[in-house]
């Protein structure tokens, strides 16, 4: 009997670590350079063809002018995306003013070389300002991309679009899992269609699943703030704001689009769920009698969930008025429809729809006095240093509002015994330590410490410790700050306190 010996051979693959490459591009660079920080390239298109997974391109501040599309076709990986970032504390302007007005002329186009279109792209783009492209400022036709702290404006179609073409198939893992974070899109107008197509942001025309917008703002676009037309899969919108869309006067024309805030679908053959949390739509009241809807179903057949949203001064605030889908609307606020013939809530609700603890379901009367400020200027104030939305009191509730603690727990964080209605939880002002006082020729100096940028700083004064009057408000600050009261020398007695709102 022959005995066979079985040898088990272990194979170990050892690879040498590969260092990621970094390239620099500057308006004053030269494409014959190496791309090092002291020898930058000049053309973004040259740099993007040099990079692979894990590599970084830094754009130095200044203006870059282009007349053709910058195509991003090479790919990173989920663990090692390709970064195209503004150099720290510098601002690159990507100007496509010399690009022809044409449907194919996107500023940036992110796509995949895979024949199936199913490959991921995994680009991470941060800190760019993109404007005046002949069509979209940026078109995303790939997956796994992150676009952060970018702005898109004065483009000849939507500022940023995720999606394909009208005749493409719906595939869940194509054009999927893109994240748009803390971006702005405004004053986009498409002259080829009389303003009827240019949205701030859109995720339309057969994108895949898992696309997300978070902390984004969209204003004064010729059509809508957001458009999710012909989208079969889930989309998430969180903490996003949109206002003043569809106004022909913004573009010096006689025509514009639908003047809508969040257009949540379109066409009766699409069923993807929509999750909309803590979003704000206001002053969308332009166009005809059927236009100007803040949150609009637009024939979409899938379930729409609206949680802790705010709508005011629109033709229609919540227009979930078609059959199809089970809708859930909780802790939302709507008031001041723009005109006596328009409706706060235009809804043909079915027995399965859920409308709970919204301002129109409760004995509360929301109005402008419930908020610190609700102006356009406050909404489009500069973002914070990290790209997050301005913390200047916009849409924040004031003490004593009857909207405080009137909501139900929907899984979002809240203060107090119950959630507040609308997008922001009220928090009581925090007293800040006045650690130094001095009198100089300019007035009384009050120095405070321990500021956390949680909210605006308010200085209050009182002659008797009984009645306190706000005398100065400053934007959020981290660390220490000094207030100078030039009128203190004229007071026989004055007390001060400082609060961080």
Q: Which of 261, 239, 237, 257 is nearest to 247 (CA)?
A: 257
Phi/psi at 252 (5° precision): 65, 35
> Tokens for 275?
């999750």
- The percent of residues in the chain predicted with pLDDT above 70, rounded, is 93
Report how far residue 120's alpha carbon sits from residue 123's, in angstroms, rounded to the nearest whole number: 9
pTM of the prediction?
A: 0.85
Strand order in the sheet with 22-25: 22-25, 56-59, 82-86, 123-126, 146-148, 179-181, 211-214, 235-238, 274-277, 304-307, 328-330, 354-356
pLDDT bracket for residue 129 (50, 70, 90): very high
Q: Is the pLDDT of residue 227 over 70?
A: yes
Q: Is the pLDDT of residue 185 over 80?
A: yes
- The reported pLDDT for the residue numbered 439 is 84
Max distance between CA atoms of the chain, in angstroms, equals 115
Other Cβ atoms closer than 10 A to 454: 14
Q: Which of 375, 364, 377 is nearest to 333 (CA)?
A: 364
> Tokens for 438?
């001095």
Report how far residue 133's alpha carbon sits from residue 152's, in angstroms, rounded to the nearest whole number: 9
| Strand 224-227, strand 129-131: pairing | unpaired
**Region of residue 173 (left: phi > 0; alpha: psi -120 to 50; beta: else):** alpha
- The reported pLDDT for the residue numbered 8 is 30
How far is Cα of residue 420 from the mean position of the Cα atoms in its chain? 22
Element (H, E) at 48: helix 44-48
pLDDT bracket for residue 340 (50, 70, 90): low
Mean pLDDT for the stretch of residues 432-449:
85
Q: Is the pLDDT of residue 7 over 50?
A: no
Adjacent-strand bridge partners of 367? none
Q: Which of 216, 215, 212, 251 is nearest to 235 (CA)?
A: 212
Phi/psi at 440 (5° precision): -125, 180
Per-residue pLDDT tens over the stretch 158-182: 999 999 999 999 999 999 999 999 9
- Which of 263, 293, 380, 406 is catalytic? The answer is 263
Phi/psi at 438 (5° precision): -150, 155
Report how far residue 250's alpha carbon sits from residue 428's, in angstroms, rounded to the nearest whole number: 39
Report how far residue 446's alpha carbon sits from residue 443's, in angstroms, rounded to the nearest whole number: 10
Other Cβ atoms closer than 10 A to 431: 12
Per-residue pLDDT tens over the stretch 41-100: 999 999 999 999 999 999 999 999 999 999 999 999 999 999 999 999 999 999 999 999
Report how far residue 239's alpha carbon sits from residue 225's, in angstroms, rounded to the nearest whole number: 14
Q: Which of 87, 84, 90, 89 is nearest to 107 (CA)?
A: 84
Q: Is the pLDDT of residue 220 over 50?
A: yes
Q: Which of 352, 360, 287, 289 is nearest to 318 (CA)?
A: 360
Report how far residue 488's alpha carbon sits from residue 485's, in angstroms, rounded to the nearest whole number: 6
Contact 419, 443 (CB under 8 A): no
Phi/psi at 370 (5° precision): -75, -10
Instruction: Classify residue 3 as exposed, middle or buried by CB count within 10 Å of its CB (0-12, 13-18, 19+).
Output: exposed
pLDDT bracket for residue 339 (50, 70, 90): low
Report how far residue 301's alpha carbon sits from residue 372's, in angstroms, rounded to the nearest whole number: 37
Contact 308, 335 (CB under 8 A): no
Report how far residue 282's alpha carbon sits from residue 243's, in angstroms, rounded to the nearest whole number: 5
**Region of residue 268 (left: phi > 0; alpha: psi -120 to 50; beta: else):** alpha
Q: Is the pLDDT of residue 10 over 80?
A: no
What's the chain's Rg over C-alpha atoms?
26
Report how far residue 113's alpha carbon sits from residue 53's, in angstroms, rounded to the nearest whole number: 15
Element (H, E) at 46: helix 44-48
Q: Is 263 a catalytic residue?
A: yes
> Tokens for 384?
């914070």
Q: Is the pLDDT of residue 345 over 50?
A: yes
- Which stretches of 235-279 are assigned E, i.e. beta strand? 235-238, 241-243, 260-263, 274-277
Count the alpha carbons within 13 Å of 438 in the hemisphere toward its beta carbon: 8
How far is Cα of residue 135 from the mean position of the Cα atoms in its chain? 20
Report how far residue 304's alpha carbon sits from residue 140's, in angstroms, rounded to the nearest whole number: 24
């Amino acid at each position: 009997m022959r005995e066979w010996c079985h040898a088990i051979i272990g194979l170990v693959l050892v690879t040498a670590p590969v260092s990621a490459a970094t390239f620099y591009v500057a308006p004053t660079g030269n494409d014959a350079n190496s791309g090092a920080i002291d020898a930058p390239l000049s053309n973004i298109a040259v740099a993007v063809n040099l990079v692979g997974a894990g590599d970084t391109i830094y754009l130095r501040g200044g203006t870059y002018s282009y007349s053709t599309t910058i195509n991003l076709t090479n790919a990173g990986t989920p663990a090692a995306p390709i970064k195209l970032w503004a150099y720290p504390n510098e601002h690159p302007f990507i100007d496509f003013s010399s690009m022809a007005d044409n449907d194919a002329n996107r500023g940036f186009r992110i796509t995949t070389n895979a024949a199936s279109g199913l490959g991921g792209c995994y680009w991470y783009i941060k800190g760019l300002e993109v404007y005046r492209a002949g069509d979209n400022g940026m078109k995303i036709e790939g997956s796994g991309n992150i676009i952060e702290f970018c702005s898109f404006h004065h483009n000849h179609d939507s500022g940023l679009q995720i999606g394909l073409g009208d005749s493409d198939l719906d595939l869940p893992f194509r054009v999927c899992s893109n994240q748009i974070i803390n971006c702005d899109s405004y004053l986009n107008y498409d002259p080829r269609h009389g303003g009827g197509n240019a949205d701030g942001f859109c995720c339309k025309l057969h994108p895949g699943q898992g696309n997300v917008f978070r902390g984004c703002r969209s204003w004064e676009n010729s059509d809508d703030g957001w458009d999710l037309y012909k989208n079969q899969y889930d989309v998430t919108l969180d903490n996003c704001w949109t206002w003043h869309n569809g106004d022909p006067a913004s573009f010096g024309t006689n025509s514009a689009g639908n003047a809508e805030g969040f257009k949540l679908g379109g066409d009766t053959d699409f069923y993807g769920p929509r999750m909309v949390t803590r979003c704000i739509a206001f002053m969308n009241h332009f166009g005809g009698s059927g236009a100007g809807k803040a949150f609009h179903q637009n024939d979409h057949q899938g379930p729409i969930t609206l949680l802790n949203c705010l709508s005011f001064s629109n033709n229609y605030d919540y227009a979930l008025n078609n059959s199809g889908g089970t809708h859930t609307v909780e802790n939302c606020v709507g008031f001041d429809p723009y005109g006596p013939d328009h409706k706060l809530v235009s809804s043909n609700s079915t027995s399965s729809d859920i409308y709970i603890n919204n301002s129109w379901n409760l004995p509360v009367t929301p109005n402008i006095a419930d908020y610190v400020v609700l102006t356009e200027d406050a909404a489009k104030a500069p973002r914070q240093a990290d790209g997050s939305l301005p913390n200047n009191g916009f849409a924040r509730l004031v003490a004593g509002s009857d909207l405080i603690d009137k909501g139900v727990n929907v899984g979002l964080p809240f203060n107090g015994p119950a959630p507040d209605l609308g997008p922001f939880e009220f928090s009581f002002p925090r007293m800040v330590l006045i650690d130094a006082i001095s009198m100089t020729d300019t007035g009384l100096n009050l120095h405070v410490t321990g500021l956390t940028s949680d909210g605006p700083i308010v200085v209050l004064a009182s002659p008797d410790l009984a009645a306190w009057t706000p005398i100065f408000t400053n934007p959020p600050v981290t660390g220490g700050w000094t207030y100078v009261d030039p009128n203190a020398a004229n007071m026989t007695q004055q007390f001060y306190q400082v609060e961080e709102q």
